[in-house]
Amino acid sequence: MNALMLLVFDGLLLLGIVSLAWASLASSDDRNSVILFMAFGLVLAVAWGRLMAADVALAEAAIGAGLSGALLLAAVRKRPAQMAAGRANNSHNPDRTGVNMLLQWSVTLLCAALAGTLAWALLDAFSSTPHETLPQAISANLEASGVSNPVTAVLLNFRAYDTLLELAVLLTAVLGILAMGRATAVYQPAGPIFDGLVRWLVPVLILTAGYLLWVGAHAPGGAFQAGATLAAAGVVLHLAGHPRIGLPAGFALRILMAAGVAVFLAVGLSLLVMGRPFLGYPPAWAGALILIIESAAMLAIAATLVLAFVGAFPRSTATRAASRQVREEEAR
């Protein structure tokens, strides 16, 4: 009975996920497509929860659906003039004649073949018993890793080098975005009701971020989930029309952006100089070192994600004029 109910639940969940993905990609309107994609991300988070991947579920909800969704929605947010102009090229009319039809069918066939081949290989892999050597090695060394949440242990100890490079990827993306120097349009100041929400939501988000960071050592959570939550506070502030988004300016902001990679590197290289391997924490200090790295990483992740959303270094002088312009255009 229980197994059957679970099977029905899985089936419905997967049906929902696949149809949301399909609807998002096939929708004729960009904005609908983005909203469906966000829904897809949220349902995906439920699936991760179902598969006992709580860490991933948190990250998916905060980053995959939340921040990606905010970025994408900002990208389809258009001023009225653009909306009218863009409608013509926006509505995607697949050309149903001749060569195009042939192309569509051959690509579809190719993708079906890919799905089939992938499924064939995956089923073959599933047909043998799962490999337990690596999970066993992880639980055997968990004691020495400094944290008791195995996912955090993998991310910040066993495979910490991946995470260092991943922070470098995030930094690279933001440097590329800032080099393009095109900020997203500024939002008008919030009305009293939205402002009321912002007033207590932002502190709660900051508190939640701190909690997620702390709890990551022994339960689902960690720097990435915490950083994304902190970034969400910044995005909310930006949406409410706050020009500075709570970020410092100039040199301090650069330090904040670089903090994740810099602290990670500093810890790794100090250990190297002390005669240990790069990022080879002594077991007694591992917990503390991981917390230091994670705190810096959280701040850097939050700052970079907010900057990625805003698209440029925040400037308070230009914003007033820009927001007035947006308001005028919206009124038109």
Partner 1 sequence: MLTAHVMYGLSGCLLVALGLRTTLLHASLLRRVLAINVMGAGVFMMLIAVAYRGLGVPPDPVPHALVLTGIVVAVSATALALALARRLHAEHDNG
Partner 2 sequence: MIDVLSSLLILAGLFFYLAGSIGLLRLPDLYSRLHALTKADNLGLGLLIAGLALQAQDLLIAFKLLLIWLAILAASATNAHLIARQARRLESGS
Partner 3 sequence: MADVIIWLVAIPLVGAIATLLLPRPATLLVVATGVATSTAAGLLLYSVAIQGALHYEVGGWTAGLGIALRADGLSALLLMMVALVMLAASVYSSAYFKEATQRERFWPLWLLLWTALNALLLSGDLFNLYVTLELLGLSAVALAALGGTHAAVAAALRYLLVGLLGSMMFLAGISLIYAGYGTLDMAQLAQTLAAGPVAWTALALMTAGLLLKTALFPLHFWLPPAHASAPAPVSAVLSALVVKAAFYLVLRLWLDVFADMVTPTAANLLGVLGAGAVLWGSWHALRAERLKLLAAYSTVAQLGYLFLFFPLLQALPPGAARELAAGGLVILALSHGFAKAGLFLAIGVIQQRSGHDNIQQLDGTAQRLPATTFAIALAGVALIGLPPSGAFLGKWQLLAAAVTSGQWLWLLVTAIGSLLAAAYIFRVLGHAFGHRPYPNQPVAVACEEWPALLLGATATLLLGLASAPLWTLLEIGS
Residues 169-208 interacting with partner 2 (rule: CB under 8 A) = 191, 193-194, 196-197, 200-201, 204
Cα–Cα distance list, 62 to 19, 58, 157, 299, 305 (Å): 22, 6, 23, 15, 11
Between residues 120 and 211, which has the closer beta carbon with respect to partner 2?
A: 211
Residues 303-322 interacting with partner 2 (rule: CB under 8 A) = none
Minimum distance of partner 1 from residue 213's CB (angstroms): 14
Residue of 121, 204, 288, 321 interacting with partner 3 (CB under 8 A): 121
Q: Quote the CA–CA distance of 96 and 111 in Å, as a whole number.
A: 19
Whether residue 47 contacts residue 157, with contact meaning beta carbons closer than 8 Å, is answered with: no
Per CB under 8 A, does 255 bind partner 3? yes
Between residues 172 and 270, which has the closer beta carbon with respect to partner 1?
A: 172
Between residues 70 and 263, which has the closer beta carbon with respect to partner 2?
A: 70
SS3 of residue 8 by DSSP: helix
Per CB under 8 A, does 71 bind partner 1? yes
Q: Is residue 141 classed exposed, middle or buried when 0-12, 13-18 and 19+ CB atoms within 10 A define those classes? A: middle
Burial pattern 177-202, b for ≥16 Cβ within 10 A else e, equals bbeeeebeebbeebeeeeeeebeebb
- The single-letter DSSP state of residue 63 is I
Minimum distance of partner 1 from residue 308's CB (angstroms): 4
Residues 154-193 interacting with partner 1 (rule: CB under 8 A) = 154-155, 159, 162-163, 166, 169-170, 172-174, 176-177, 180-182, 184
Dihedral (C-alpha) 37, 309, 84, 29: value to the nearest 10 degrees?
Answer: -10
Residue of 80, 176, 196, 248 interacting with partner 3 (CB under 8 A): 176
> Residue 193 binds what, of partner 1, partner 3, partner 2, none (CB under 5 to 8 Å, by partner type)?
partner 2
Taking residue 205's Cβ as centre, other Cβ atoms within 10 Å add up to 19
Residue of 19, 100, 108, 172 interacting with partner 3 (CB under 8 A): 172
> Residue 272 binds what, of partner 3, partner 1, partner 2, none (CB under 5 to 8 Å, by partner type)?
partner 3
Which among 276, 267, 167 has a CA at the least distance from the CA of 222? 167
SS3 of residue 71 by DSSP: helix
Residue of 79, 166, 214, 219 interacting with partner 3 (CB under 8 A): 166
Residue of 39, 44, 233, 290 interacting with partner 1 (CB under 8 A): 44
Between residues 198 and 224, which has the closer beta carbon with respect to partner 1?
A: 224
> Residue 55 binds what, of partner 3, partner 2, partner 1, none (CB under 5 to 8 Å, by partner type)?
partner 1
Per DSSP, the residues of 152-203 read: HHIIIIITHHHHHHHHHHHHHHHHHHHHHT-PPPPPPPP-HHHHHHHHHHHH
Per CB under 8 A, does 103 bind partner 1? yes
Q: Quote the CA–CA distance of 261 and 279 in Å, as a whole number.
A: 13
Which among 299, 285, 276 has a CA at the least distance from the CA of 147? 285
Backbone phi and psi for residue 188, each to the nearest 5 degrees, phi listed first: -75, 155
Binding site for partner 3 (CB under 8 A): 117-118, 120-122, 124-126, 128, 130-134, 137-138, 141, 157-162, 165-166, 168-169, 171-173, 175-176, 178-180, 251, 254-255, 257-258, 261-262, 265, 268-269, 272, 276-281
Binding site for partner 2 (CB under 8 A): 191, 193-194, 196-197, 200-201, 204, 330-332
